Structure 1
Amino acid sequence: MNYAEILMRTILSVGLLLLIPRILGKQTLSNMTSNDFVISITLGSLAANLAFNVSLKFTYLVLSIVVITATSFLLSFIALKSRRLRSWISGSPTVLIEEGKIMEANMRKIRYTMDSLDQALRKKEIFNVEEVDYAVLEDNGQVSVLKKEAYQSVTKQDLGLVLKPQAFPVELIMDGKLVEDNLKQHGLTREWLEKELDKKQKGKTLADVFYAVKGTQQQLVFDFYEDGLQQPLDRE
């Protein structure tokens, strides 16, 4: 009986953990603030107990998870409505470098070391701190950097090049299966796709295609099951 109960509790626990991010929103996953960090640890602990700790009442644990989720949702709502409370709930950014000068006092306040700053800059492909004009530690723990103008990359606009309009890529075939909804939404047909494929690769059919996408410049890209590589790098 215990094995059956643990199995059911584990399935429910996983189901709740999959449902919660949908309730709290994608920002919880992409922008983990201090509030989100505390909530995620608490939910993880409750979900683990729900899965295997049969000495604790099933209904109590589910109620706790529901209350924690509702509290997190309420805090997110309050943070959305009030900027003053948002900084208390989610934290606020801290300037680490200003006008090329390292803000030692700010770093001491948040116990942020130079080693951590150097590591964060290297992740941004910056190995010389003198290249940085501003660096800010965001409330999700990531460091945002503005380079000095002399070290910024040149853009097409800077060079006066003609900028071509871009479109969002449209996936037409995924894992060998035709994405019918994407074709319909963009006024495309299977027959059109077959003709375009024949223009690019004579003798190939849609059954040979693993992945197909209409790119940002409206170009069609096909990837086939048979890549035709004589010596693939990763061989089993």
Structure 2
Amino acid sequence: MTHIADTLMRSIAAFIVMMIITRILGKSTISRMTYHDFVATITLGAMTANLSLNTSMNGWQVLIGIVTFSGIAYLVMALALKSRTIRKWVSGQPTVIMEDGKILESNMRKLKMTMDTLNQELREKNIFNIEEVQYAVLELNGKITVLRKPEYLPVTRKDMNLQTSKQSFPVELIMDGQIISDNLHQNHLSEEWLVSQAKSRGLAIGDICYAVRSTNGQLHFDRYDDRIRQPVDKE
């Protein structure tokens, strides 16, 4: 029973420590995985597993190791932000794998990338014909970015000289039936205004699951009662 309690406490401590470390390292570490991020993630994961499950090791020693390694990872990240040379060594550089519509086989061999992988990445960007590609670059996070040839680029409103209305960032007003007061205050809106807008649509706040002011300024309300007799349910 003592071992179970010890493992439980160590697991809780490991979870809390990793949440704190993740917050310190920042969102960018989660969203993109460079060489440095990959090494830090793998090592911290192994050390956290030891803190949680390896009861033969002193918990405080493992915790000190985790904090020390996290400090090193943070220091390297801070230095990389200030020095392009260190950033290139730590994170690597983007690699061009297609130039002027031609595949650079030598770069692909250095990256150990196959044509199957390249074609898969292009298909994920809705490009099924490789002749549409002008440039393709393997970024630091392992994803491929593509510049299409001019004749394959989509037409924009600017190309057609069409007028465009001003857009703003969408503002969530209600989520899970709860009014998001902070968003209302930040956008100089009041709960009374929101209630009146809901009433004008024959709704009470309690009827609404989700409400958002979209980029064009229009309000969208999604009610709990969808009034769909036979909703689609594919398992």
| Alignment size in residue pairs | 234
State whether structure 2 residue 188 is matched by structure 1 residue 207.
no
Q: Report SS of the residue matched to 2:227.
A: coil
Measured in 1, the distance between the counterparts of 2:69 and 2:181 equals 40
Name the counterpart of 1:88: 89
TM-score by length of 1: 0.96
CA–CA separation in structure 1 for the residues paired with 2:24 and 2:186: 28
After TM superposition, the structure 1 stretch with the greater mean CA deviation from structure 2, 95-104 or 188-197, is 188-197
Measured after TM superposition, the shift of residue 198 of structure 1 is 2.3
* C-alpha distance in structure 2 between counterparts of 1:14 and 1:155, whole Å: 47
In structure 2, give the amino acid aligned to 1:163: T
Q: Distance in 1 between matches of 2:78 and 2:156?
A: 39
Q: Distance in 2 between matches of 1:186 and 1:121?
A: 40
How far the C-alpha of 1:181 sits from its partner, in A, is: 1.6
* TM-score normalised over the length of structure 2: 0.96
Matches within 5 A, 1:141-180: 141-180=142-181
Paired position in structure 2 for 1:233: 232
Taking only the aligned residue pairs, the percentage that are identical comes to 48
Distance across 1 between alignment mates of 2:7 and 2:223: 45
Look up the match of 2:112: 111
What corresponds to 1:53 in structure 2? 54
Unaligned runs of 5+ in 2: none
The alignment partner of 2:141 has SS state of coil
Q: What's the RMSD between the two structures over aligned residues? A: 1.2
- C-alpha distance in structure 1 between counterparts of 2:190 and 2:6, whole Å: 51
The correspondence of residues 19-58 of structure 1 with structure 2, limited to 5 A, is 19-58=20-59
Residue-by-residue CA offset, 1:53-85 (whole Å, 9 max, x unaligned): 011111111011111111111111111111112
The residue number in structure 2 matching 1:130 is: 131
The 1-side partners of 2:6 and 2:229 are apart by: 53
Q: Where in structure 1 are there 5+ consecutive unaligned residues?
A: none
Displacement of 1:187: 2.0
SS in 1 for 2:127: coil
Distance 1:162 1:108 in 2: 47
Which whole-Å CA distance do the structure 2 matches of 1:153 and 1:125 have between them? 12
Q: Deviations over 1:195-225 (max 9, x none)?
A: 21222x22x2111001111111110000000
After superposing on structure 2, the runs of 4+ consecutive aligned residues of structure 1 that deviate more than 3 Å are none
Q: Which amino acid aligns with 2:233?
A: D
Aligned partner letter, 2:221: F
Report the 3-state secondary structure (helix = DSSP H, G, I; strand = E; otherwise coil) of the residue aligned with 1:139: coil
Letter in 1 for 2:207: D
In the alignment, which residue of structure 2 is the partner of 1:10? 11
